[in-house]
């Protein structure tokens, strides 16, 4: 499944591969750009979502404890299938 991903997307997927929720700050640490802010992970997550949704997986954003968390999950049923 890793083929077709940029090096940054691979690092993010590796972090999220355990299936546990990870804070935005943890995901941001995967970016090797010291000048980026927390909002800069949004385009990376969006591109990963497009790529993994085809195989029945998703990255969800969960708000809890006044923080945002990203979690890699497997879908029971793809909302895009007919």
Report if residue 11 sits inside a domain.
yes
Report if residue 2 sits inside a domain.
no
Confidence (pLDDT) at 75: 78
Give the structural domain span for 12: 7-74
Alpha helix (H) ranges present in 3-76? 7-16, 24-28, 41-53
Closest CA to 38 of 53, 26, 28, 49: 28
Per-residue pLDDT of the chain (82 residues; tens, 9 = 90+): 457 899 889 999 999 999 899 999 899 988 877 778 888 889 999 999 999 988 889 999 988 888 889 999 987 765 555 5
Report if residue 44 sits inside a domain.
yes
- pTM reported for the whole predicted model: 0.80
The CATH number of the domain where 34 resides is what? 3.90.1150.220
Confirm if 28 and 39 have CB atoms less than 8 A apart.
Answer: no
């Amino acid at each position: 499944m890793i083929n077709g991903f940029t090096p940054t997307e691979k690092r993010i997927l590796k972090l999220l591969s355990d299936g546990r929720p990870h804070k935005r700050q943890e995901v941001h640490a995967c970016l090797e750009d010291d000048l980026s802010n927390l909002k800069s992970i949004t385009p990376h997550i969006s591109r990963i979502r497009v790529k993994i949704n085809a195989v029945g997986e998703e990255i969800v954003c969960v708000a809890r404890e006044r923080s945002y968390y990203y979690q890699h999950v497997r879908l029971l049923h793809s909302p895009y299938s007919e």
